[in-house]
Amino acid sequence: MPARSDTIFALATPPGRSAIAVIRISGPTSHAAAQTFGAEVPSAGRFRVALLLDPGGQPLDEVLLLAMSGPLSSTGEDVLEIHCHGSTAVVAAILDMLAKCDGFRPAEAGEFTHRMFDHDKIDLLGVEGLADLIDADTDLQRRQAWQQMSGALRGPATNWRASLIELAAHLETLIDFADEDLPDNIAAGLQARAATLRGAMRAALDDGRFGERVRGGVTVALIGAVNAGKSTLMNHLAGRDVAIVSDTAGTTRDVVSVTIDLDGIAVTLLDTAGIRDTDDSIEAEGVRRARMAAQQCDAALILVDGTRPGWHAGISPLTSLVDGDALVIVTKADLGITDAANAGKDTYLHLGLAGPNAEASGAAVLDALRQLVIPANWAEQASIITRLRHRHAIEAAHAALEVAFGHDLGKAPELAAEDLRHAADSLGRMIGVIDVEDLLDSIFSSFCIGK
């Protein structure tokens, strides 16, 4: 990141035509921008309607100016916001004039938020939550981002870290007595505290990765032989025709994807080519991609055509392609499923998307999909881990805590204390109280400019 003493500016609203556009300016000389346009700066915390003039002294736009003074501003610095009309020409003219102001430069991606962080307006987990809030497409993603910003993970993780440091300190007081047997009650007390702490971390880790699923979405691949009805189901779930449905085998050749909002979870469905041996090189590539999708997806719907004799034998070769959870669906039930002895209505979902029961059948498959991606007995507030980064840090802390209490506390308290410090550091990095700079750069680069 370049110098923080510069005054930075950027369009905070999306580029293009809109009723209003907001340009944000932050830095020591931000308030002086008003004069550049021949306008007077409002007092801190106030709006002022102002006529901005172009370099030739001609009217440029009538705007609202909002001034904030550091440290009580969003970035902690002096801030000026220009709420202008959202035309490409107006925005371009204002940005152009700002670029010519002394000590002003365009902001980089995430730089306003970086300054918030530098001025302790937000911490690392808050920055991640804010990034998630901006990226939220579903209501559940929005709520989870807010929980994250309000400390859903920070709270418990800070407490765990404090307990680890306290335990380490306690063990260090025992170093002077090393090589003597530790009185049983002290050892038992320490073990009990460690067990409670370990249990709390374990409970957070065993969340079915739901927070990560909410945040990042879930991919579900539709896998099956040609003509099994994959594209038909995909279109049904999407509520529109995204994939070509045809009784010509080998119609779907590439992976077609569509994202649906399933109770707040962004589920990306992948319709794939039917799995079969083929001499057609394009179709073969499609089959290769289908196999890859089966391997990499979070969950799969395995479709077999129930009207084909021997459909039952087709299931296990398909399930073996899938690494994640799989749901087997026997299709074309409206035409009658052959081989009734194997029909296994209890084991497999029967789906008929034609005929009089099509609607109920479609609802049943949606329900089954819901069960596949949303863990049973899930409670929204319970998942506090939203990124793999958090998971790895807590796993590392949990493991180090386990190692620490594997030592003989009486003979080697210093080894146990050292492991506890590792555990505390792992959580410290996660919360952002130590070693944050590298992480920040990677997080901020994912922000948009103007944030």
Cα–Cα distance list, 246 to 226, 232, 276, 338 (Å): 10, 9, 17, 22
| Smallest gap from residue 317 Cβ to ligand GDP (A) | 16
Report the candidate in 361, 89, 93 with the shortest Cα–Cα distance to residue 232.
361
| Smallest gap from residue 332 Cβ to ligand GDP (A) | 4
Nearer to ligand GDP, 169 or 249 (CB): 249
Binding to ligand GDP by residue 332, rule CB under 6 A?
yes
One-letter amino acid at 404 equals: A
Q: Which residue carries 């002003």 as its tokens? A: 104
Among the residue ranges 81-89, 136-144, 239-247, 439-447, the one whose residues contact ligand GDP (CB under 6 A): 239-247
- Mark 33-72 with x for binding to ligand GDP (rule: CB under 6 A) and - for no binding: ----------------------------------------
Select from 219, 227, 383, 426 the one that contacts ligand GDP (CB under 6 A).
Answer: 227
The C-alpha atoms of residue 400 and residue 93 are separated, in whole angstroms, by 57
Binding to ligand GDP by residue 272, rule CB under 6 A?
no
Cα–Cα distance list, 408 to 92, 174, 190, 241, 412 (Å): 69, 12, 12, 65, 6
Q: Is 170 helix (H, G, I), strand (E, B) or coil?
A: helix
331 binds, among ligand GDP, Mg ion, none (CB under 5 to 8 A by kind): ligand GDP
267 binds, among ligand GDP, Mg ion, none (CB under 5 to 8 A by kind): none
Q: Which residue carries 């609802």 as its tokens? A: 363
Binding to ligand GDP by residue 236, rule CB under 6 A?
no
- Residue 278's contacts (CB-CB under 8 Å, 6 or more residues apart) are 250, 284, 287
Select from 65, 228, 365, 427 the one that contacts ligand GDP (CB under 6 A).
Answer: 228
Cα–Cα distance list, 70 to 29, 30, 40, 83, 103 (Å): 11, 11, 19, 20, 18
Q: How far apart are the first and last CA of the chain?
A: 14
Select from 252, 278, 383, 386 the one that contacts Mg ion (CB under 5 A).
Answer: 252
Binding to ligand GDP by residue 251, rule CB under 6 A?
yes
Binding to Mg ion by residue 426, rule CB under 5 A?
no
Binding site for Mg ion (CB under 5 A): 230-231, 252
Binding site for ligand GDP (CB under 6 A): 224, 226-232, 245-247, 251-252, 274, 331-332, 334-335, 351-354
